[in-house]
Amino acid sequence: MRPHPDRTGATRFGKRGAVAIAIASLVGLAAFCWPLFAHVSSHSNQAHAGDAPWVMAVIIPLLLIALLGEVTTGGIDAKGVALLGVLGAIGAALRIPSGGTAGFEPTFFLLFPAGYVLGRHFGFLLGALTLFASALVTGGVGPWLPFQMMAAAWVAYGAGLLPRRQGRLELVILASYAAVACLVYGLLVNMWFWPYGAGTTTSFSFQPGAALGHNLARFLAFDLTTSLGFDIPRAVLNAVLVLTVGRPVISALRRASHKAAFGAAVDVPLPAVAGAPVVRTTPTTTGQVR
């Protein structure tokens, strides 16, 4: 069974994993955007700023744990793990020189071709893993890390949803997605930072209980003032990298996925007994004992 060249299926999630990702993404989005939906009672008690921020800060790591545990148990084999690890290593290595200076973060660059070539679920795992590994390698684990992991996982998942095209058009689609995705990532992480950076006493703080449009306008003002200077260089850098280096990277990843032959059936011929069937196993069912 030769895998389709463009749908390599480096992981096998099945319906269970897809459902898990869907639920977790909805909850994760609510956990990110809680300032837009917070109600007034979260403002009333001064001793702690209401339940919502801390509940959401706890929910996101739980979501990540649940997702990662659910989709990797039996869904990914040694080749997938090794490929994940190595691509994560490259992403982490890309983060070291930049250190986040003025948004020149080429870390995200590899997520786009990898999600595009190796599938959206692999991209999801790679996004989360790259951010985690780069945090370990560069600075340390901070309270923003689960949110960054979730946002990067979504960004790479989206790369796997892009339509497959040939030639120049492929690169253009991927590069424009890269620019948009970097801006969205910046928006999401800034949404996390918004209550802490602006508090409740500035003119672009979130107003618990106010209308959605009102809060959204204030958030956009906050985003414009504080973080767009980081997001736009990052988007431009990643788009340019995809346009220039994207072609050889995509080809290299396709070659590797061919060689890895994800999803190839394994024939294990048993010792010759007359009439005995040939045992056929696929990587996902390895090791399962009924």
Partner 1 sequence: MVHRTVVVLATVLCTATFVAAASDAAGAARTRVGTDSAHFAVVTVHHARECASVRKAGGGTIVVPVVIDLGGPSDQANVTCVAVPAGSNDAQVLAARAKLLGVTAPRYAISGLLCAIDDYPATGCGQQNGSHYAYWAYFHGGSSWTYSSVGPASWTVSAGDVEGWRFEPDGSATPADPPPRSPSDAPTLCPASVPPTTTTTTSPASVPTSTATSTTLAQSSSSSGNHGATGPGSAPAVSSGPKPFVAAPGSGGPVTAKGSGSAPGAVSTTTTPGPPGGAAQQGAGSDRAGHRTPTHLASKRSPGHGGFPLGIIIAVALIALFATGAGFRTRRSTKAD
Partner 2 sequence: MAGRLTSLRVAPLHPVAWWAWAILLAAAAARITNPICLGLILAIAGWVVVSRRPQSTWARSYSTLLRLGALVVVIRVVIQALFGQRIPGHTLFTIPSIALPSWMAGVTVGGPVTADALVGAACQGLRLAAILGCVGAANALVSPFRLLRCVPAGLYEVAVAVTVAVSFTPQVISSLGQVRDARRLRGRAISGLAGVRGLAVPVLEGALERSLALAASMDSRGFGRRAVSVTRQRVASATTLAGLLGLAVGAYGVLDSGAPPALGLPIVGTGALLVIAGLITTSVGGRTRYRPDRWSGREWCTVLVSAAALAAVVVVGRHDAASLAMPVYPLSFPAVPPLAVVGLLLAALPSIVAPRPIDTAVR
Q: Where does this chain bind partner 1 (CB under 8 A)?
A: 39-41, 43-46, 49, 199-201, 203, 205, 207, 209-211, 214
Q: Shortest CA distance to 286 belongs to which of 261, 265, 269, 259?
A: 265
Say how many residues touch partner 2, by CB under 8 A: 98
Give the distance, in angstroms, between the CA of residue 120 and the centroid of all CA atoms in the same chain.
9
- Could you give the CA distance from residue 207 to residue 188 in angstroms, rounded to a whole number? 18
By C-beta, is 6 or 51 nearer to partner 2? Answer: 51
233 belongs to the binding site for partner 2 (CB under 8 A): no
CA angle 227, 228, 234 (to 5 degrees): 100
By C-beta, is 147 or 206 nearer to partner 1? Answer: 206
DSSP single-letter state for residue 290: -
Q: Tokens for 163, please give them.
A: 């339509």
74 belongs to the binding site for partner 2 (CB under 8 A): yes
CB of 274 to partner 2, least distance (A): 30
By C-beta, is 137 or 184 nearer to partner 2? Answer: 137
| Angstrom distances, CA of residue 100 to CA of 59, 134, 156, 232, 240 | 26, 12, 19, 13, 18
Q: Largest Cα–Cα distance of the chain, in whole Å?
A: 82
CB of 197 to partner 1, least distance (A): 15
**Which of 46, 167, 213, 277 lies at the binding interface for partner 2 (CB under 8 A)?**
46
Residue 44, contacted partner among partner 1, partner 2, none, CB below 5-8 A by kind: partner 1
23 belongs to the binding site for partner 2 (CB under 8 A): yes
- Name the one residue in this structure whose structure tokens are 């948004």: 103
Give the distance, in angstroms, between the CA of residue 110 and the centroid of all CA atoms in the same chain.
12
Residue 226, contacted partner among partner 1, partner 2, none, CB below 5-8 A by kind: partner 2
CB of 168 to partner 2, least distance (A): 16
Q: Residue 36 in contact with residue 123, Cβ under 8 Å? A: no
CA angle 284, 119, 151 (to 5 degrees): 110
Q: Tokens for 208, please give them.
A: 């618990």
Q: Shortest CA distance to 134 belongs to which of 182, 106, 97, 96?
A: 96
Residue 191: exposed, middle, or buried by beta-carbon count in 10 A (0-12, 13-18, 19+)?
A: buried
Helix H or strand E encompassing 232: helix 228-260
**Which of 7, 89, 232, 236 lies at the binding interface for partner 2 (CB under 8 A)?**
89
44 belongs to the binding site for partner 2 (CB under 8 A): no
By C-beta, is 35 or 158 nearer to partner 1? Answer: 35
Residue 245, contacted partner among partner 1, partner 2, none, CB below 5-8 A by kind: partner 2
The stretch near partner 2 (CB under 8 A) out of 164-172, 180-188, 228-236, 249-257 is: 249-257
217 belongs to the binding site for partner 2 (CB under 8 A): yes
DSSP single-letter state for residue 102: G
Residue 85, contacted partner among partner 1, partner 2, none, CB below 5-8 A by kind: partner 2
CB of 128 to partner 2, least distance (A): 9
Mark residues 174-213: x for contact with partner 2 by CB under 8 A, - for none: ----------------------xxxx-xxxxx---x----
Residue 216, contacted partner among partner 2, partner 1, none, CB below 5-8 A by kind: none
